Amino acid sequence: MHPLRLIESTPGKYALLLDAGTTQVDNVIEELGHEPNGYFWEGVAQVLVSVEAPALEGRFSYDPEGSMFCAYGTDRSALEELATRMATIATDADRMRQLVAAAKADGFEFDD
C-alpha cells in the first residue's frame, strides 16, 4: 500500500491518504505535463475506478487538496482495493505513463 496509508478517522470511518510530491513517479508526472498534487491523484483514482474497477464506483468520496490526495468513506475494503491499485501506479513509471496516455486517449482531463 506504500506510499498510501489507510486510517480510521473515527470508528467505522476511513480515509485513504497520499502525501502529494512524495512518490517515486513525481518526475514522470511532471514530464507528462502535470503537477503531482492531490487533484492529479484524484484523477488517477477516477481513471482506475472507471477503467479497471467499476465495482468501486460510488463506494467512497474524494476530498483532495494541493498537498494531499484523500478518499474517504465507511467501506474499508473498497478503500483498500483502491490503495492497492494506486500503489502500483505510484511506484511504477511505465504504469503511470500508460495510465496517463490511456486517459488522454479517452478524453479524460486531469484537474491539476
| pLDDT given for residue 2 in this prediction | 86
Going edge to edge, which strands form the sheet with 5-10?
5-10, 13-19, 68-73, 61-62
Cα separation, 37 vs 20, in Å, equals 5
| pLDDT given for residue 1 in this prediction | 75
As its CATH architecture, domain 5-105 has 2-Layer Sandwich (3.30)
Sign of CA dihedral 57, 33, 4, 67: negative
| pLDDT given for residue 51 in this prediction | 94
Mean pLDDT, 10 residues at a time, the chain of 112 residues: 93 97 96 97 97 97 96 98 97 97 95 87
> Per-domain residue ranges for the chain?
5-105
Dihedral of the alpha carbons of 30, 82, 64, 5, in degrees to the nearest 10: -90
Q: Which residue has 518526475 as its cell numbers?
A: 27
